[in-house]
Amino acid sequence: MAQRETSEFLAHLEAENAHALDRTEHLRGLADELYEELRSRVRETDLSVPVRHDRWWYYSRTVEGEQYAVDARVLVAEHPDRPVLDGDTPPDGEQVLLDANAEAAGHDFFAVGASETSPAGDLLAYAVDVAGDERYDVRVRRIGTGEVLDEAVTGTGGSLAWSLDGRHLFYTLVDEAWRPHQVWRHTVGTSQHEDTLVHDEPDERFFVGVGASRDDRQVIIAIGSKTTSEYRILDAADPLGAPRVVAPRRSGVEYDVEPVGDLLYISHNAARPNFELAVAPLTSTSADDWRPLEVTAPEEYLTGVDGFEDFLVLRLRREGKTTLRVLARDPAAPTGLGEAHDVALDEPIATIALGLNPQTRTSTVQVVHESLATPSTVSDYDVATRTLTLLKQQEVRGGHDPDDYVQRREWATAPDGTAIPISIVHRRDVRADGTAPGLLHGYGAYGISSDPWFSVMRLSLLQRGWVFAIAHVRGGSEMGRGWYDAGKLAAKPSSFSDFIACADHLRDSGVVDPDRLAAEGGSAGGLLVGAVMNQAPDRFRFVSAAVPFVDPLTTILDPSLPLTVIEWEEWGNPLADPAAYRLLKSYSPYENVTAARYPALLVTTSLHDTRVYATEPAKWVAALRHETRDVPGAAPILFRTELAAGHGGQSGRYRQWRQWAWETAVLLDLTAPRPRPAAVPAAVSAAVVVTGAAAGAGGT
């Protein structure tokens, strides 16, 4: 199976697909019903909240029946107020930037990496992937006429940045292991062979990206491993110059930069695990220039900073929740900053984030919040008056009232005594009497937090009386940077025991029916649920594993594979460290398959996924089939591969909806209530015992 390009392997995947569809043929009607439910709740022709940049309102819109969005703009002079749809008709004077439906014609898969308008606003550069392998080809078009000016640059990592004059593009290239490792400068209208190498990163632990500052005046090159980072800045008005290092990399020190005028605001962990904020001159080339700004407490996790002319917005995590903190910029103050305040939300477990804010000179910022019950809501936040003005809330057709649902945070106790947060939502009339089916979601890796999010798809489960829960296991960053460190490398097993503890909490507290609890996880979350299946096969009735990282030992032993070397700082290096080898082998889902009574299993993957090769789930499923072939009453194993997709699955919303509907139909079918055994009269029960004893004494 390591030879994933062979016709034999492809035939194997196709046979598994045929088997999965054959085994679920009886679910066709239910899948169609779920698809129509979802479609009935979505406004298919819609317009995003227009965002002003320079002379234009920028937005994207969708059209009923079309798979992809259309990116467009209109002049502010012609639309002083934010434009809206007139019925289903686009705003007058619209200029189409990118119609992904037209671009995707003839392709089974289509995705856009970066899409950047030139500083003058006359050109659009965008990177497209038509295979799902995350290698992007770049196109440049003149917006006013739609004329394609350049298609020379191919095989990029997907990130782009313009020079200030709009004559040059900066982009990344990937190496054979799919690692973005170089930044190149391209002159629009010339051959890629004439491009100039700007940065080459030889250390295989580091990825490279390129972008621009909010005011387009700086080209920013980001270089980072899992534990160390370095930034280089180039004046976008001098694109032929050499980028300067903000601060040379130091092992274990991570930092991020935000240029604002002639200053750099830096969030870093040089002296505080949860990061802190510093300021330095824009021309700084050493961490010695960083002046600390005491604007966060040690227990607050600073995840980023956005800078504007008159204020800063800090992105924080505190007590497991997201927070935005606004600080006025005051040149007269000793620190250059004035009063601070936090943006408050009146929901117990909501997620808040900054939206699109391309303007540096502004008195308001776009804020987005949502929860497990509240649809995504976009508001303007007035920094001076500290008030939110609703711009748009995600529409749920047919009606949706968040008050019809209960959402809350509960805490499970891990084996080492650590309290693990669980976010829970269910319909208000669902009681904790041990009868409700439940779905537990988990990820727990790379410091990525699984913050509560709203899902129209999830409503089909909630309306059927399901409980949905998120296990915020260690390995994410929900409770601060230490939460991540406590679930990686040698501490990785904590992620698995945390997830089991969350399942036990839901079962033991009566929140869910112990016989109808399901689990789901994707990518590194697939490793999570796969490891948990081996360690506690009786906890779940059904498990869904999407593009699952289930053969980590084999993968991380091969430095030629995508992501492997950079992953050593997450999982350990089994080539150099015997302890890391033993630990990975001890929890690898593939390495630990036994003849157990596993839960029913749905495994999905994508043929062109370059992050987790399809060989991993294929090997895992084959091992499971082999080991459980003689297990009485073994639960079904279904394996489906999307043959034109990448790590995120299929492209195109209707195809994604169909995929979700089928997967949800499988979930509902394989967690359906089992018939309860009828009560047996005492006399009959005694006779059965006697008969059984006699049979055991005398023969078969």
Instruction: Report the C-alpha gap between 494 and 485 in whole angstroms.
Output: 10
Query: What pLDDT shows up at residue 676?
Result: 67
CA separation for the pair 428, 410 (Å, rounded): 16
Torsions phi, psi for 601 (to 5 deg): -135, 135
Q: Tell me whether residue 651 is one of the annotated catalytic residues.
A: no
pLDDT tens sequence across 316-337 = 999 999 999 999 999 889 889 9
pLDDT at 3: 83
CA 63 to CA 42: how far, in whole Å?
12
Rounded to an integer, what distance in angstroms lies between the CA atom of residue 365 and that of residue 639? 45
Average pLDDT of span 233-239: 98
Q: Which residue is it, tokens 């671009």?
A: 103
- Only one residue has tokens 């040059």, namely 168
Query: For residue 386, what are its two tokens?
Result: 């500290």
Mean pLDDT in residue range 78-99:
93
pLDDT in tens, 131-168: 998 899 999 999 999 999 999 999 999 999 999 999 99
Distance, in Å, from the CA atom of 212 to the CA atom of 188, rounded to the nearest integer, reads 17
pLDDT tens for 658-691 read 999 999 999 999 999 987 665 544 433 333 332 2
| 50, 53, 55, 60: CA torsion to nearest 10 | -30
Structure confidence at residue 693 (pLDDT): 28
Q: What is the pLDDT of residues 262-294, one digit of tens each?
A: 999 999 999 999 999 999 999 999 999 999 999
pLDDT in tens, 566-605: 999 999 999 999 999 999 999 999 999 999 999 999 999 9
- Catalytic residue, from 71, 256, 380, 609: name it: 609
Helix, strand, coil percentages for the chain (3-state, nearest 5): 25, 35, 45
pLDDT of residue 684: 34
Radius of gyration of the chain (CA): 27
Extract the tokens encoding 264.
Answer: 């750099």
Reported as a pLDDT band with limits 50, 70 and 90, residue 468 is very high
Q: How far apart are CA 56 and CA 71, in angstroms?
A: 13
Name the pTM for this structure. 0.94
Is 193 one of the catalytic residues? Answer: no
Exposure b/e, 105-133, CB count within 10 A at least 16 = b: eeebbbbbbbbbbbbebebbbbbbbbbbb
pLDDT of residue 682: 43
What is the pLDDT confidence band of residue 695, given thresholds at 50, 70 and 90? very low
Mean pLDDT computed over 23-33: 98
Q: Is 334 exposed, middle or buried (0-12, 13-18, 19+ CB in 10 A)?
A: exposed
* Average pLDDT score, the chain: 93
Stretch 431-458: mean pLDDT = 97
| Known catalytic residue at 609 | yes
Dist. CA 499–CA 57, nearest whole Å = 45
Using CA atoms in the order 364, 366, 368, 374, what is the torsion angle rounded to 10 degrees?
70
The per-type count for the chain, helices as H runs and strands as E runs, is 13, 37
Q: In sequence order, which residues have a C-beta less than 8 Å from that of residue 642 and are 6 or more positions away? A: 604, 605, 606, 607, 649, 650, 659
Element (H, E) at 133: none
Token couple for 462: 């909630």
**pLDDT over threshold 90, residue 692:** no
The length of the chain, given as a count of residues: 700
Residue with the two structure tokens 């409980």 = 467
Please pick, among 225, 523, 544, 588, the residue that the annotation labels catalytic. Answer: 523
Taking residues 113-142, report their average pLDDT: 95
C-alpha 501/C-alpha 609 separation (Å) is 32
Catalogue all structural domains in the chain, each as residue range(s) with its CATH number: 7-38+413-551+588-670 (3.40.50.1820)
Catalytic member of 229, 497, 647, 651: 647
